[in-house]
Every structure is written in structure tokens, then in C-alpha cells.
Amino acid sequence: MTIHKYPINWERDNYSIKIFCSIPNIATGILLTAGTNYFVVDPGDGILRDLNKEIGTKKILSINDLFITHGHHDHVGGVWALLTYMRVMNKKTPLTIYYPKGCIEIESIYHAFQKVYGKTLPYKINLKVIDHVNTFKSKNVTIHPFPVIHKEYLHDGITTRQVPALGYKFIFNKVKICYGGDTAYCTDLVKMAKNSDLAIIEAGHDDETPDGMHMSISEAKSIGRSAKEYFLVHVPE
């Protein structure tokens, strides 16, 4: 165990994941590299700066996919900057954004972006709603999305509602990385994390946060230990 300082880096046989940041209410930002393909997961605020430093413009322009676990600002705050940068730098290849069904934040960002830049956009953006938890492939990576339990407060600050939220398991050359996103303890995550080569598990629960939104450190550890290695992330600082 395993609360690390960011960035966190993990690598196995040409397959790596770098977590630039994962701090509740501030930002998340994750880069997944499989061979020569780059994927970004939960591009929160600062992702453009971090990617620029890590891989540079040319590789940023080659990014195939963005994977969004849910629409909270600390997970999508960098999307606009990334899309705009790709436009300014003349990206040519398409970009696909995978997100859970009902995630209006991503759809709103996309529509606003198209309204502002649609006529001058050199690359195509594909929105891919994940409704069913079917496995699919992108480039050389197999992706298993799975539903998780995550909530947000309504305006009264007391009532909560479930938000559309997913975790993802990414498999490259049989190496499995499971990322739960933000979630309360849930059986789908328990199943998916088990025997993964790496599990990235949030432990964002604190005493002021009701259950049903995030996991406590002991819950997160109990899931993490079922994987070969694990990191706890999204821990309040």
C-alpha cells in the first residue's frame, strides 16, 4: 500500500500508465500507453500541461481516444483545452470520446465546442456512448467498461443522486489494468479488480462524506489486495 505522490507511473512490457494527478475536487489526469498508441483517461484540469511535458505535441496529436468515467469537473475539466489544442495544432486523425450514457457534461462540452469551432475543425470527434458493458477494442487495447456506484449532491447539499459512472479495465498483451474511477464499494469493481495486474482504486471517503459516493481506505485496500499490484488514488489531501 500505497498512497503515492503524483505522478504515479507503472510499466510492464511496453504497456504503461501514468497518473499525473488524482485529487478529489481538484483534478484527475491519466495517460495510458500501449506500444505506440496513446489513450487518455479522465482528462481533468492540467492534462494538457502534463501531456505536453510528458509526450509533446506530435504524440498528443496521435491520441486515439479519451475515456471518461463520469462527468464531474475533476475528471473532465481539461477536455476543452485538449480539444482546442488539437485544433490549433492541426490534428488530422479522429478522436473518439467514450463516456457513460447520460453524462451530459461531455455532450455539453462537445456541442459547445462544435458551435465555436465546428467549421474550422481539422479532425473528427466521435462520441461513443457506453450504454452496455460490452467489451470492445481500440487499436491494440481491449476495453471492458463496467458500472460503478457514484453520487453527487443536489442543491440542498444533503440529497444525493447517482451519476452516470463507469470503471474501465484495459488489457494489452494479456496485461490487465483496472481503473475504478470514482465509486463507492461495489461488486462490479470487486470482480473486475480481482487478478488484474494493476488495480487503481479510489479511496476518497472521509468522515464528512456519506457512504455511497466514495470508498474508505480499508474498503479500497480490500479490493486492491485482490489484484497483483494496486495504487490508492483520489485520496483527500
List of residues contacting Zn ion (CB under 5 A): 72, 182
CB of 29 to Zn ion, least distance (A): 14
DSSP 35-61: TTEEEEES--TTHHHHHHHHTHHHHHH
CB of 224 to Zn ion, least distance (A): 19
CB of 69 to Zn ion, least distance (A): 8
Backbone φ and ψ for 83, nearest 5 degrees, come out as -65, -40
Instruction: Provide the grid cell at 174.
Output: 494479456
Question: Buried b / exposed e across 12-46, counting CB within 10 Å, b at 16+?
Answer: eeebbbbbbbbbbebbbbbbbbbeebbbbbbbbbb
Q: Which is nearer to Zn ion, 60 or 203 (CB)?
A: 203
Instruction: Provide the grid cell at 24.
Output: 478529489
Asked if 109 and 137 touch (Cβ cutoff 8 Å), the reply is: no
Asked if 226 and 190 touch (Cβ cutoff 8 Å), the reply is: yes
Separation CA 233–CA 127 (nearest Å): 27
Give the position of cell 475515456. 67
CB of 49 to Zn ion, least distance (A): 21
Q: Which is nearer to Zn ion, 43 or 176 (CB)?
A: 43
Q: Which is nearer to Zn ion, 141 or 200 (CB)?
A: 200
Q: Which is nearer to Zn ion, 151 or 176 (CB)?
A: 151
What separation, in Å, do the N-terminal and C-terminal C-alpha atoms of the chain show?
Answer: 17
CB of 183 to Zn ion, least distance (A): 9
Q: Which is nearer to Zn ion, 74 or 197 (CB)?
A: 74
